[in-house]
Amino acid sequence: METKEVQGQYVNVNGLKMYYEIHGEGQALVLLHGAFSAIGTSFGKLLPDLAKTRQVIAFEMQAHGRTADIDRPLSMEQMADDTAAALRQLGIEKADFFGYSMGAGIALQIAIRHPNLVRKLVLASVTYTLSGIHPGLMEGLADMKPEMMFGSPWHEEYMRIAPNPENFARLFAKKTEMDRGIRDIPAETIRAIKAPTLLIIGDSDLVRPEHAVEMFRLLGGGVFGDTPAGLPGSQLAVLPGTSHVTLVYRADLLLPIIPPFLDAPMPEAE
């Protein structure tokens, strides 16, 4: 079967010319990629299957992929607001969100800042406090240099599709600055999220497994499901033999989990 080449488009939001692609039809599912990544390196293994039964809307964030940088810092809150504004322009009133790494942080911010936009959340490799990351990892990332990524799939993708490929070092500096400014999200704020949430980590991820369980509990999980109350609306998946980088390549593990979670009936409102 021939696959139709999808023609990406741009939407103007908050001074940013933001790239997006739409694949398939059905319930809207928004894909939000990881840092230094774009649609291809974050979701290339998953998007075709996800788009078989739903309308997949994949964005590329400020300074990432085909979306050129503008003169403002990078922040997850700002990227959440950009995404929300773009969806409203596209006429999407409510959607499911699947974010990976930085994209999961952005999806989390959308759920906090624009809750009416969110039906269900799939958050792959996310933390709500810096202590949720293995000790020393953030310090190690802060010491990295752009050259360390040369030859990687993310750098190759950036050089191929970015409007200004010479700006990779600038993206690197802005991302490092963003990491320095990340603040913990209060537990009460996570607890207040009403959208059913599927948390996913690799068993060898940068997120500590204990943290994922902690977050799962805040979202209503970690309870005994064989009671009249039944299973909670949120779910937790720990993928075996999976690291942070390899998580989004594990279509064999993710595709049996994500569509059934999204397709399940919404819990009745309390």
pLDDT in tens, 171-198: 999 999 999 999 999 999 999 999 999 9
Mean pLDDT of 51-65: 98
Q: What pLDDT, on the 0 to 100 scale, is given for residue 1?
A: 32
Model pTM?
A: 0.95
pLDDT in tens, 194-225: 999 999 999 999 999 999 999 999 999 999 99
Q: Please give the CATH number for the structural domain made up of 9-222+231-263.
A: 3.40.50.1820
User: Residue 140 pLDDT more than 80?
Assistant: no
Q: Is the dihedral of CA 20, 26, 28, 33 positive or negative?
A: negative
3-state SS of the chain is: CCCCCCCCEEEEECCEEEEEEEECCCCEEEEECCCCCCHHHHHCCCHHHHCCCCEEEEEECCCCCCCCCCCCCCCHHHHHHHHHHHHHHCCCCCEEEEEECHHHHHHHHHHHHCHHHEEEEEEECCCCCHHHECCCHHHHHHCCCHHHHCCCHHHHHHHHHCCCHHHHHHHHHHHHHHHHHCCCCCHHHHHCCCCCEEEEEEEECCECHHHHHHHHHHCCCCCCCCCCCCCCCCEEEEEEEEECCCHHHCHHHHCCCHHHHHHCCCCCCC
Bridge partner list, 238: 201
